[in-house]
Structure 1
Amino acid sequence: MKHLFTCLLGVVLGLPVAAQKAPVKPAAKPAPGPAFTLACPVVPASASLQKQHCETRTLTLPAPPAGTPLTVDARLHGSILVRAWSGPDVRVRAVVTGRAATPAAAKALAAAVRVSSQNNVLQAARANESLDGWEVSYEVLVPTQTDLLLRSTNGSISVENVRGTLRCESTNGSLALTGVGGDVRGKTTAGSLTLTLTGSAWQGPGLDVSTVNGSIAWQLPAVYAATIMARTVQGRVQAELNTKRKSVLPHNLVATLGKGGAQLRATTVNGSVTVKQEALPLDVQLTEEEGSK
Structure 2
Amino acid sequence: MKYPLLALLLALAGPVAAQTPAAPAFQLQCEVNATTQLRKTYCETRDLTLPAPPAGTALSVDARLNGNITVRGWDASTVRVRALVRASSGELAAAQALAASVRISTANHQVQAARANGSLDDWSVSYEVLVPTRTSLALHATNGGLHLENVQGTITFETTNGSVQLLNLAGDVRGKTTNGSVALMLSGPTWDGTGFDVQTTSGSVQCRLPTTYAATLTARTTNGRVTAKLAPATRKQLLPRSLTATFGKGGPQLRLATVNGSVDVQQSDASSSSAPGKE
Question: AA paired with 2:74?
Answer: W
Supply the distance in 2 between the matched residues of 1:112 and 1:44 (Cα, whole angstroms): 20
For residues 279 and 120 of structure 1, the distance between their equivalents in structure 2, rounded to whole angstroms, comes to 39
Question: What is the CA–CA distance in structure 2 between the aligned matches of 1:49 and 1:254, rounded to whole Å?
Answer: 54
> Measured at CA, do residues 50 and 255 of structure 1 come closer, stay the same or move farther in structure 2, by a change above 3 Å?
same
Q: Which residue of 2 aligns with 1:290?
A: none
Are residues 280 and 87 of structure 1, via their aligned partners in 2, closer, same or farther at CA, if it must alter by over 3 Å?
closer
Q: Is the 8 A contact 1:34 1:91 kept in 2?
A: no
1:149 matched to 2:138? The reply is yes
> Which of 255, 258, 269 is residue 268 of structure 1 equivalent to?
258
Match of 1:258 in 2: 248
Residue equivalent to 2:107: 118
- Closer, same or farther: CA 238–109 of 1 in aligned 2, 3 Å: same
Q: Give the equivalent residue in structure 2 for 1:245.
A: 235
* Structure 1 position 140 matched with structure 2 position 136: no
Higher helix share: 1
CA distance in 1, matches of 2:160, 2:257: 16
SS of equivalent residue, structure 1 residue 119:
helix
Question: What is the distance in 1 between the residues matched to 2:268 and 2:38?
Answer: 47
The answer on 1:35 being equivalent to 2:25 is yes
Q: Which residue of 1 aligns with 2:200?
A: 211
Over residues 10-30 of structure 1, what are the superposed CA-to-partner deviations in whole Å (9 max), with x where a residue is unaligned?
A: xxxxx9xx559x979597669
Structure 2 residue identity aligned to 1:271:
G
Letter in 1 for 2:96: K
Mind listing any 5+ residue stretches in structure 2 that lack a counterpart? Answer: 272-279
| Richer in strand (by share) | 2
Tell me the residue number matched to 1:8: none
Q: Which position in structure 1 is the counterpart of 2:163?
A: 174
Q: Which runs of 5+ in 1 are unaligned?
A: 1-14, 282-293
Shift of residue 280, structure 1, vs aligned partner: 9.2
Equivalence map 1:173-212=2 (5 Å): 173-212=162-201
1:105 paired to 2:104: no
Matched, 1:230 2:219: yes
TM-score (norm: length of structure 1): 0.85
Alpha-carbon distance in 1 for matches of 2:66, 2:169? 25
- Tell me the equivalent position of 1:79: 68
Cα offsets for 1:57-111 (capped at 9, x unmatched): 0111110000000000001111000000011110000000011111111111101
Secondary structure of 2:60 counterpart: strand
Deviation at 1:244, TM superposition (A): 4.1
Q: Pick closer, same or farther for the CA change 1:258–1:97 going to 2, 3 Å.
A: same
The residue type paired with residue 263 of structure 2 is V
Aligned with 2:99: secondary structure? helix
Paired AA for residue 54 in structure 1 = C
Question: Quick one: which amino acid aligns to residue 66 of structure 1?
Answer: A
One-letter amino acid of the counterpart of residue 161, structure 1: N
| CA RMSD across the alignment | 2.1
CA shift for structure 1 position 49: 3.8
Task: Give CA deviations for 1:203-252 in whole Å, capped at 9, x if unaligned.
Answer: 00111000000000111112100001100011000001113410111000
**Distance between the aligned counterparts of 1:105 and 1:239, measured in 2?**
53
For residue 35 of structure 1, report the CA deviation from its aligned partner. 1.1
Task: Count matched residues.
Answer: 263
Q: In the alignment, is the contact (CA less than 8 A) between 1:166 and 1:184 conserved in 2? A: yes
Q: Which runs of 4+ in 1 moved over 3 A?
A: 22-34, 43-46
| Residue 153 of structure 2: aligned partner | 164
- Structure showing greater Rg: 1
Look up the match of 2:47: 58
Q: Calculate the TM-score normalised by the size of structure 2.
A: 0.89
- Mapped to 2, the partners of 1:98 and 1:45 lie a distance apart of 11
Letter in 2 for 1:147: S
Q: Distance in 2 between matches of 1:91 and 1:206?
A: 27
The secondary structure found in structure 2 opposite 1:238 is strand
Map of 1:12 onto structure 2: none
Give 3-state SS (helix, strand or coil) of 1:212's partner.
strand
